[in-house]
């Protein structure tokens, strides 16, 4: 008969178990503390007085801007998006819509705006995916600056006034904006609103202090034409074209900046299935980028990327550690053997991690409340964040990472695949291999 207790005791006294237990406990505390401190550093150095400065353009620097949007079956939202784009307060811009093989009425709804002269339509008869659609659109665009947005997002009217001045510096290749969650009817959407405030926004502030940014937002990002040409535009075969493009730009020594005043309101998945598919794609995309660019990023000339490489691998390692320990603890309790390091009753260390998590979420809420005045209301849903998101993201990472690390990216373009996701009960296109 197998001595399960003896095996569990041997595992708990092993050095590997102690290392995993220490890493599992300390990593979220240290990473959260670093995130809070560096994001506050960014705030006091670069953002503290930004709200007192009205965005004003230099009359000698008003480059032509092309707002480029790839759309696939976006008839439900495309008209509202175009109206929001036309309300942008900037004297010199065009709007370019790329209909990527839509099977609904997207093109027909865009055509009335085309007659007004400021909107252009590129209609592709074959669906080739978001990256290919954007590449085709960028080749047709006339602007010196490209503002790339999602087809169901709504920008703040001042967005170009706060983004364009960054490109006065010849080193700036891109500027990423501040996406805010628009649909907040469900608890899942409220949690994503908190996530974009307290995780993603803080990460971008922190990464600017480190010197490099993990990813340009796929929802909103501005690019200099020369930078895009220099890196060969988007990579159509990558699961997340935005992460890949961010690394390609920075490996070519282009600077990427974060502009929190560049607010864009976006729709997020309102169902667990939609969120699962989105986050699985994100996890796979990061793993593909680490496979594709990780070795090059470790060269001395790219040392400012090292914090991103280290943090990315540590977060993946923590996900596997979380899953391994949680599975082991669950099995131990099932056989009536209380494991070391785990308790069904919240203990001191668990409360410490939870408190640090809530402190991080509060920091994000305080920093972003000027851009999203209602976000403090949703802080009270933050108690569910570590319970729901940590568990889901750990599972997603464990499932998605191995295949992306071990296999090369897809041979052909990554195409759109509809999943139920927005708050209106329709079908929202996301990319899926």
64-81 residue pLDDT tens: 999 999 998 888 889 999
**What Å distances lie between residue 296 and 216, 308, 313, CA to CA?**
19, 13, 15
Each as own residue / partner, the long-range contacts of residues 138-144 (CB below 8 Å, 24 or more positions apart, any chain) are: 138/66, 138/68, 138/228, 138/233, 140/96, 141/66, 141/68, 141/94, 141/96, 142/64, 142/66, 142/94, 143/63, 143/64, 143/65, 143/66, 143/93, 143/94, 143/225, 144/63, 144/64, 144/65, 144/224, 144/225
CA distance 198 to 369: 11
CA quadruple 407, 409, 415, 416: dihedral, nearest 10: 70
pLDDT tens readout for residues 314-358: 999 999 998 888 888 888 777 777 776 666 556 667 778 778 888
pLDDT greater than 70 at residue 2: no
Report the run of H or E that residue 178 belongs to, with start and end.
strand 172-181
Q: pLDDT tier at 159 (50, 70, 90 boundaries)?
A: very high
pLDDT tens readout for residues 287-296: 999 988 989 9
Mean pLDDT of 8-33: 85
Dihedrals φ, ψ of 270, to 5°? -100, -5
CB of 248 within 8 A of CB of 238?
Answer: no
CB of 224 within 8 A of CB of 143?
Answer: no
Which residue did the predictor score with more confidence, 319 or 415?
319
For residue 84, what pLDDT is reported? 93
Which residue did the predictor score with more confidence, 421 or 413?
413
For residue 404, what pLDDT is reported? 78
pLDDT tens readout for residues 37-65: 999 999 998 888 765 556 677 788 899 99
Which residue did the predictor score with more confidence, 286 or 413?
286
pLDDT tens readout for residues 84-111: 999 999 999 999 999 988 888 888 899 9
For residue 51, what pLDDT is reported? 59
Q: Coil, strand, or helix at residue 97? A: strand
Q: pLDDT tier at 262 (50, 70, 90 boundaries)?
A: very high
Token pair of 3 as six digits: 């001595």
pLDDT greater than 60 at residue 430: no
Nearest to 181 by CA among 362, 382, 387, 375: 375
Mean pLDDT of the chain: 84
Q: pLDDT tier at 226 (50, 70, 90 boundaries)?
A: very high
Q: Would the CA dihedral through 307, 209, 180, 134 be positive or negative?
A: negative
CA distance 33 to 357: 9
CA distance 353 to 121: 51
CB of 400 within 8 A of CB of 287?
Answer: yes
Of 2-11, 179-188, 375-384, minimum mean pLDDT range: 2-11
Q: Could you tell me what percent of the chain has a pLDDT over 70?
A: 89
Q: What pTM was estimated for this model as a whole? A: 0.87
Q: Could you tell me what percent of the chain has a pLDDT over 90?
A: 34
Count how many Cα atoms sit within 13 Å of the Cα of residue 213 in the half-sphere of its side chain. Answer: 28
CA distance 23 to 322: 10
CB of 239 within 8 A of CB of 414?
Answer: yes
Which residue did the predictor score with more confidence, 345 or 173?
173
Mean pLDDT of 383-390: 71
CA 124 to chain centre: 27
For residue 1, what pLDDT is reported? 44
Question: From the CB of residue 137, how many other CB atoms can be counted at a distance below 10 Å?
Answer: 22
Q: pLDDT tier at 415 (50, 70, 90 boundaries)?
A: low
Mean pLDDT of 13-34: 88
Count how many Cα atoms sit within 13 Å of the Cα of residue 40 in the half-sphere of its side chain. Answer: 12
Write the DSSP symbol of residue 219.
Answer: S
For residue 52, what pLDDT is reported? 58
pLDDT greater than 90 at residue 258: yes
């Amino acid at each position: 008969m197998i001595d399960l207790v003896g095996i569990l005791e041997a595992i708990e006294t092993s050095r590997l178990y102690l290392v995993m237990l220490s890493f599992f406990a300390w990593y979220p505390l240290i990473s959260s503390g670093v995130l809070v401190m560096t994001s506050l550093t960014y705030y006091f150095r670069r953002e503290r007085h930004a709200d007192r400065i009205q965005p004003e353009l230099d009359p000698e620097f008003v480059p032509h801007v092309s707002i480029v949007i790839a759309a696939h079956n976006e008839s439900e939202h495309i008209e509202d998006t175009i109206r929001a784009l036309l309300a942008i307060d900037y004297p010199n811009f065009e709007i370019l819509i790329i209909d990527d093989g839509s099977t609904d009425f997207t093109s027909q709804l865009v055509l009335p705006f085309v007659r007004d002269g400021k909107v252009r339509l590129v209609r592709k008869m074959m669906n080739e995916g978001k990256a290919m659609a954007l590449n085709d659109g960028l080749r047709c665009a006339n602007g010196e600056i490209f503002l790339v947005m999602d087809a169901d997002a709504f920008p703040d009217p001042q967005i170009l006034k706060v983004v364009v001045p960054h490109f006065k510096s010849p080193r700036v290749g891109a500027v990423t904006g501040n996406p805010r969650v628009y649909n907040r009817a469900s608890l899942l959407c409220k949690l994503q609103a908190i996530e974009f405030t307290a995780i993603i926004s803080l990460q971008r502030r922190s990464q600017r202090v480190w010197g490099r940014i993990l990813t340009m937002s796929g929802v909103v990002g501005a690019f200099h034409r020369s930078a895009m040409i220099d890196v060969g535009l988007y990579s159509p075969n990558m699961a997340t074209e935005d992460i890949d493009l961010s690394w390609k730009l920075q490996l070519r020594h282009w600077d990427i900046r974060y502009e929190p005043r560049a607010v864009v309101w976006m729709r997020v998945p309102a169902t667990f299935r939609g969120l699962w598919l989105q986050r699985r794609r994100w996890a796979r995309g990061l793993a593909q980028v680490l496979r594709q660019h990780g070795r090059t990023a470790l060269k001395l000339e790219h040392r400012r990327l090292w914090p991103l490489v280290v943090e990315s691998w540590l977060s993946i390692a923590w996900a596997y550690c979380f899953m391994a320990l949680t599975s082991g603890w669950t099995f131990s309790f099932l056989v009536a053997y209380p494991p070391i390091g785990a308790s069904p009753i919240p203990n001191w260390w668990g409360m410490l991690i939870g408190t640090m998590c809530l402190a991080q979420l509060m920091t994000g809420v305080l920093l972003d409340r000027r851009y999203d005045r209602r976000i403090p209301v949703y802080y009270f849903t933050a108690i569910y964040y570590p319970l729901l998101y940590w568990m889901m993201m750990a599972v997603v990472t464990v499932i998605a990472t191995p295949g992306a690390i071990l296999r090369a990216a897809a041979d052909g373009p990554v195409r759109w695949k509809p999943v139920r996701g927005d708050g209106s009960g329709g079908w929202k296109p996301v990319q899926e291999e």
